[in-house]
Amino acid sequence: KAGVTQTPRYLIKTRGQQVTLSCSPISGHRSVSWYQQTPGQGLQFLFEYFSETQRNKGNFPGRFSGRQFSNSRSEMNVSTLELGDSALYLCASSFTGHSNQPQHFGDGTRLSIL
């Protein structure tokens, strides 16, 4: 069974640009969550999607957005990039997204802002 796949693995952008990250969940998983990981703030929840609907959202500005497609694949978009957006962005999936279910993580997309 294939794991969670995130593309691309590495990305370099400049301030003011926008970026789209992609996540393919494990087959059969309908919940997809996104996290930002930085050395200073650790792991922070961005948002969670289930059946193409955003069900939960963390405390991030509106520049961070996402969507989920009918096949459960998800994309995350960050507009007007800032230096502080440099981070490892992790995607995780689970069957229903209930909090007692473990999440399965991808290897992440490392975003560097110059």
Partner 1 sequence: AQSVTQLDSHVSVSEGTPVLLRCNYSSSYSPSLFWYVQHPNKGLQLLLKYTSAATLVKGINGFEAEFKKSETSFHLTKPSAHMSDAAEYFCVVSEGGSQGNLIFGKGTKLSVKP
- CA nearest 73: which of 25, 112, 10, 18? 25
The one segment of 13-21, 63-71, 72-80, 97-105 that binds partner 1 by CB under 8 A? 97-105
Instruction: Tell me which residues in 36-75 interact with partner 1 (CB under 8 A).
Output: 42-45, 47-48, 50, 55-58
The smaller minimum CB distance to partner 1, of residues 20 and 58, is found at: 58
Instruction: Tell me which residues in 3-32 interact with partner 1 (CB under 8 A).
Output: 4, 6, 31
Distance CA 98, CA 114 (A): 37
Residues in the chain, total: 114
Q: Is 103 in the site for partner 1 (CB under 8 A)?
A: yes
Distance CA 76, CA 78 (A): 7
Report whether 46 contacts 36 (CB < 8 A).
Answer: yes
Distance CA 77, CA 51 (A): 18
The smaller minimum CB distance to partner 1, of residues 62 and 98, is found at: 98
- CA nearest 8: which of 92, 108, 93? 108
The one segment of 12-20, 66-74, 78-86, 90-98 that binds partner 1 by CB under 8 A? 90-98
Binding site for partner 1 (CB under 8 A): 4, 6, 31, 33, 42-45, 47-48, 50, 55-58, 90, 92, 94, 97-108, 110
